[in-house]
Copies of this chain bind each other. A is one copy, B any other.
Amino acid sequence: MRLTSEQHLDGGVLEREFTLGEIPGILWTPASASPSTPAPLILLGHPPLGLRKMYPRLVARAQHSAADGFATATIELPGSGDRPRWPAAEQARADLRQAMAAGEPVSDEIVDALVLPLVDQAVPEWQAALDALLSLPEIGGPVGYSGGVISIGIRLAVVEPRVSAAVLFAGSFVPRALFEEARQVSIPLHVLLQWDDEGNNRQAALDLFDVFGSREKSLHAHLGGHAGVPQFAGDAAAQFFARHLK
């Protein structure tokens, strides 16, 4: 991991950009984080729209988490932002847009083509980022994962034992294969669902919540569309992490 820039934000939060090989990322640490009092870490997931576009929302989440004593970090997803485009994924996105514009059901084939390669490539990258981040003396465990592409969160929860709690956002297409993996998830889960999410199948989200294997799981559904998660829902998610990561 190579630190490429740093700046101080409001509230004493230190923002550092880094690269991990070809992958850009950002790390935020609260003023309280030090080698003698390392901060627990939350990985900030995000949709595949590019870190630069997502930055305003990411930094707001980072600031909120820092106020609770958490470090946060994120990396660019494969095929997004400045990373090389991915012809197969571009094709799947085009197929998705076409099906939705035509009012047709989105087929399992399109969802698989859209999501499975992304999960297969992204998850080892988040694990590599975790290796690098946890080697910093001011960052400690335990680790949480929050938001973004829910299928990445599911796979990470299954394969990465250092992730010990997750806030998942039921707001994107989930391949059938990931429903099977969801049964193997055993960490505490706090699942957010926007009740009127235009691009989301509500029943599929409820079915997915049902199959998670975790003994502590809760679903928090709020009125409104994809981007309408209310402020108090963020506060509740923060309390979930405070219960499980401290």
Give me the interface of A with B, judged by CB distance under 8 Å.
195, 206, 209-210, 214-223, 230, 232-233, 235-236, 239-240, 243
Set B217, B222, B232, B243: member contacting A223, Cβ < 8 A: B217
- Whether B239 lies near A218 (C-beta < 8 A) is no
Name the residue on B nearest A221 (C-beta): B219
16 contacts between A and B (CB under 8 A): A195-B209, A195-B210, A195-B219, A214-B223, A216-B223, A216-B230, A217-B223, A218-B221, A218-B222, A218-B230, A218-B233, A219-B219, A219-B220, A221-B221, A232-B243, A236-B236
Residues of B near A209 (CB, < 8 A) are: 195, 221
Q: Chain A interface secondary structure, helix, strand, loop or mixed?
A: mixed
A145 to B216, CA, bound (A): 27
Q: How far apart sit A218 and B210, CA to CA, in the bound complex (Å)?
A: 18
Q: Which residue of chain B has its CB nearest to the CB of A196?
A: B210
Residues of the B chain whose Cβ atoms lie less than 8 Å from the Cβ of A240: 232
User: Given B210, B214, B218, which contacts A220 in the complex, CB threshold below 8 Å?
Assistant: B218
Nearest-CB distance from A144 to chain B (Å)?
16
Residues in B with CB closer than 8 Å to A206 are 206
Q: Which 10 A-B pairs have the closest CB atoms?
A: A219-B221, A218-B222, A217-B223, A220-B220, A236-B236, A218-B221, A232-B243, A218-B220, A216-B223, A215-B223
- Give the docked Cα–Cα distance between A41 and B215 (Å): 35
Instruction: Output the least CB separation between A224 and chain B (Å).
Output: 9
Docked Cα-Cα span, A243 to B209, in Å, equals: 28
Given contacts A214-B223, A216-B230, A218-B233, 9 further A-B contacts (CB under 8 A): A206-B206, A209-B221, A216-B223, A218-B221, A219-B219, A220-B221, A221-B221, A236-B236, A236-B239
Most B CB atoms within 10 A — which of A209, A214, A223, A236? Answer: A223
For A220, what are the chain B residues with a Cβ–Cβ distance below 8 Å?
218-221
Least CB distance from A193 to B in Å reads 8
A232 proximity list for chain B (CB < 8 A): 239-240, 243
CA distance A232 to B238 in the complex (A): 12
Q: Which residue of B lies closest to A209 (CB)?
A: B221
- Please, which residues of chain B bring their CB within 8 A of the CB of A221? 209, 218-221
Cα of A235 to Cα of B222 in the assembled complex, Å: 18
Residues of B within 8 A of A214 (CB): 223
